[in-house]
Structure 1
Amino acid sequence: MPLRFLDGGESHGKALIAVLEGIPSNYEVDIDYIDNELKRRQQGYGRGARMKIEKDRVDVWSGLRGNKTTGNPITFIIKNKDYENWREYFENDVKPEDRIGVARPGHGDLVGFHKYKTGDIRDSIERTSARETAIRCAVGALCKQMLLDIGIDIRSKIYSLGEFYDQSIDLFNDEDYDIIEESSMRCYNKHIEDGMKSTIDMCKEEGDTIGGRVYIGIKGVPIGVGSYSNWDRKLDGILSMAIMSVQAVKAVSFGKVLDLPLIGSIYNDEAYFEDGMLKRASNNCGGIEAGISNGENIEIYAVIKPIPSVKKGLNSVDLIKKQNVTSRYERSDISAVVPACIVLENVCAFHILDEILKKFPSDDFNELKESIERYRSELLKY
């Protein structure tokens, strides 16, 4: 059975909720691992005041017996502590004079107001908020830990923020990755990190926000995951859709397509045999060819736009009064680039596991693990 989930909940509502279906039975879930992924999402330099309010933890309401999966749908709940400050809004009809009509350019305010016609931008704010990514992280975290147990690891770092670019490293060198994990900017180079922090500080002082790029590495996906047989089965297409669905992501690329001359003899990854093993001279295509994993690390870059809730204000409109105004400010981060790293790790985990389960259909985790181990062994002979 393919994986699927549906999530719901408002930014300041009672809770965020998701129901995940298709996880094999007999997998020992580490709830602390999921909570730690939620904690990682809340960290990072440039985060806003709400991170001081919410200390996200997941409650699992179904699908586990003890901590072991049963094969039944798994229900996740993350309660919003900030709900108590918003209870009156959610429990009562909004007064006409309290409706929000002033839109923030670049956010979902203007388009949501016209699409759903509730007469109040607040209804769009509550669901377009990046707060929704907390529950997606919880869903992805379960998938991510399951992937680790079948030899697939997903890691991330910041690639750039504003004009500052961090140096490239091997994410799967544990010693180097520890530096990334300990950095509040998920940055390897300390000098570059200081420059990024200064940029965020400057934006905060000026009432502005700033974006950048993140880098996601996925190690251990065996050759043959995904398909070129139909457009909607291509692995890079599936991952692109998932990544672009995350708030503030405006572009995605695989491998070094943006960093190298687009000359065929330079860009394409030459292949050769060494001691009977298929090897690649480079990984410029980012681990995917023709929509199928080629056994190399999958390398993804995503562009995170500046947060549209700009304190200094932008030219905008009041949709209720039909007037030209300055945009309003809604509490937010100065930069979402660092937390986007963690969100995208977990978003990718869901879809990688889904594609693994399509190739190795299993209702029981032990069967899944055995199937993948057998497949890896067969690849060595092919």
Structure 2
Amino acid sequence: MPLRFLDGGESHGRALVAILEGFPSNYEVDIDYINHQLSRRQKGYGRGQRMTIEKDRVEVWSGLRGRKTTGNPITLIIKNKDYENWKGYWEKDIKKEDKIGIARPGHGDLVGFYKYKTGDIRDIIERTSARETAIRCAVGALCKQLLEDIGIDIRSKVHSLGEFYDDNVDIFNDEIYDIINRSPMRCYNKNIETHMKNTIDMCKEEGDTIGGRAYLSIRGVPIGIGSYTNWDRKLDGILSMAILSIQAVKAVSFGKTLELPLIGSVYNDEAYLEDGAIKRKTNNCGGIEAGVSNGENIEIYAVIKPIPSVKKGLNSVDLINKSNVISRYERSDVSAVVPATVVLENVCAFHILDEILKKFPSDDFYELKNSIDRYKEELLSY
């Protein structure tokens, strides 16, 4: 059975909810691990006032007996504390004069207004909000935890913010990664961190927002995950779709594609044998060839656009009154780059586990683990 989930909920509604199906049985879940991922998502320099209101904690309403999964659908709930301040919006009809018609350029306001025709942009705001990523992180954290127990580790950092780029470092070096995790910018170079923070401060003072790039690396994915036999089974295509579905992500690349001269003899990763094992001199393609994992780290860069809720205002249109106006401001972060790194980890974890389960169909966790261990042994002797 493929892994799948459906999530629902509004930014200021009662709760965010997801139902996850296809997760193996007999896996011992650490709820604290999931809550730690939710906490990581709420941190970072440039976050807004909402993060001081919500203290996200997940509740599991089905699919567990004690702490172990049963194979039944898993229901995850994150309650919104801010709902108490918004009860009136959900419990009564909104007067025409209270409906929102002024669209923010770059947001879902305008397209949602015309697509669903509810006559109030608030309905679009409530679902397009990046608050939705909290429940996706909860689902992904459950998958990420299992992946770690079968030898797959997912880590991330901020690659750039505005014009400032962090050092290229080995994030699987625990000492280096500890520095990154303690940084409010989730970067390694302290001098660059200062520049990034100052840039965010300047944007906040000017009523502006700023974007950047996130870097993600996945270690331990064996050769053969994904497929080139059909267009919709390619691993890089699947991951790209998932990443681009995250709010504010506008571009994704694998490996050093955007950094190197696109010359065949330079770009392509030469291979050689050493003690019977295939090695690579480089990992410019980012661990995926022809839509299939090649055993190297899967390395991904995602471009996070500036948040469209710009306090200084942009030229826009009042869609209800049909007039030219300055865009309205909705409470938001100054930059989403730091939390985006954490969201990327957990979103990708779901899809990596899904592809693992397609390669090794398993109803039970120990069956899955044994299948992967046997496969890795077979690869060594093939």
TM-score category (smaller protein): over 0.9
Moved over 4 A (4+): none
Alignment correspondent of 2:141: 141
Pairwise CA distance, 1:300? 0.2
Pairwise CA distance, 1:212? 0.2
| d(CA) in 2 for partners of 1:371, 1:295 | 17
Which amino acid counterpart does residue 44 of structure 1 have in structure 2?
A: G
Which amino acid counterpart does residue 32 of structure 2 have in structure 1?
A: D
Alignment correspondent of 1:357: 357
RMSD: 0.3
Alignment correspondent of 1:63: 63
Q: How does 1:203-214 map to 2 (within 5 A)?
A: 203-214=203-214
Alignment correspondent of 1:51: 51
Which amino acid counterpart does residue 215 of structure 1 have in structure 2?
A: Y
Alignment correspondent of 2:249: 249
Matched, 1:289 2:296: no
Query: Any idea what SS the aligned residue of 2:232 has?
Result: helix
Query: Any idea what SS the aligned residue of 2:349 has?
Result: helix
Q: Write out per-residue CA displacement over residues 90-113 of structure 1, whole angstroms, 9 at most, x where no aligned residue.
A: 011111110000010000000000
Q: Write out per-residue CA displacement over residues 259-301 of structure 1, whole angstroms, 9 at most, x where no aligned residue.
A: 0000000000001100111111110000000000000000000
| d(CA) in 2 for partners of 1:169, 1:99 | 49
Unaligned runs of 5+ in 1: none
| d(CA) in 2 for partners of 1:3, 1:183 | 34
Alignment correspondent of 2:202: 202
Query: Any idea what SS the aligned residue of 1:295 has?
Result: coil
Which amino acid counterpart does residue 74 of structure 2 have in structure 1?
A: I
Which amino acid counterpart does residue 155 of structure 2 have in structure 1?
A: R
| d(CA) in 1 for partners of 2:125, 2:315 | 19
Alignment correspondent of 1:322: 322
Alignment correspondent of 1:379: 379
| d(CA) in 2 for partners of 1:172, 1:360 | 26
Pairwise CA distance, 1:379? 1.0
Pairwise CA distance, 1:378? 1.1
Q: How does 1:27-46 map to 2 (within 5 A)?
A: 27-46=27-46
| d(CA) in 2 for partners of 1:42, 1:137 | 11
| d(CA) in 2 for partners of 1:107, 1:86 | 22
| d(CA) in 2 for partners of 1:92, 1:132 | 23
Which amino acid counterpart does residue 178 of structure 2 have in structure 1?
A: D
Alignment correspondent of 2:185: 185
| d(CA) in 2 for partners of 1:288, 1:355 | 13
Query: Any idea what SS the aligned residue of 1:133 has?
Result: helix
Matched, 1:99 2:68: no
Alignment correspondent of 1:259: 259
Query: Any idea what SS the aligned residue of 1:332 has?
Result: coil
Which amino acid counterpart does residue 82 of structure 1 have in structure 2?
A: D
Query: Any idea what SS the aligned residue of 1:309 has?
Result: coil
TM-score (norm 2): 1.00
Which amino acid counterpart does residue 133 of structure 1 have in structure 2?
A: T
Pairwise CA distance, 1:348? 0.1
Query: Any idea what SS the aligned residue of 2:136 has?
Result: helix
| d(CA) in 2 for partners of 1:173, 1:380 | 26
Which amino acid counterpart does residue 185 of structure 1 have in structure 2?
A: M
| d(CA) in 2 for partners of 1:94, 1:150 | 51
| d(CA) in 2 for partners of 1:196, 1:37 | 23
| d(CA) in 1 for partners of 2:375, 2:74 | 28
Which amino acid counterpart does residue 248 of structure 1 have in structure 2?
A: A
Query: Any idea what SS the aligned residue of 1:366 has?
Result: helix
| d(CA) in 2 for partners of 1:209, 1:193 | 17
Which amino acid counterpart does residue 375 of structure 1 have in structure 2?
A: Y
Alignment correspondent of 2:161: 161
| d(CA) in 2 for partners of 1:278, 1:308 | 46
Unaligned runs of 5+ in 2: none
Pairwise CA distance, 1:171? 1.0
TM-score (norm 1): 1.00
| d(CA) in 2 for partners of 1:143, 1:280 | 29
Which amino acid counterpart does residue 286 of structure 1 have in structure 2?
A: G
Alignment correspondent of 1:75: 75
Matched, 1:152 2:149: no
Which amino acid counterpart does residue 97 of structure 2 have in structure 1?
A: E
Query: Any idea what SS the aligned residue of 2:141 has?
Result: helix
Q: How does 1:211-222 map to 2 (within 5 A)?
A: 211-222=211-222
| d(CA) in 2 for partners of 1:262, 1:96 | 56
Q: Write out per-residue CA displacement over residues 119-144 of structure 1, whole angstroms, 9 at most, x where no aligned residue.
A: 00000000000000000000000000
Identity %: 82
Query: Any idea what SS the aligned residue of 1:103 has?
Result: coil
Query: Any idea what SS the aligned residue of 2:51 has?
Result: helix
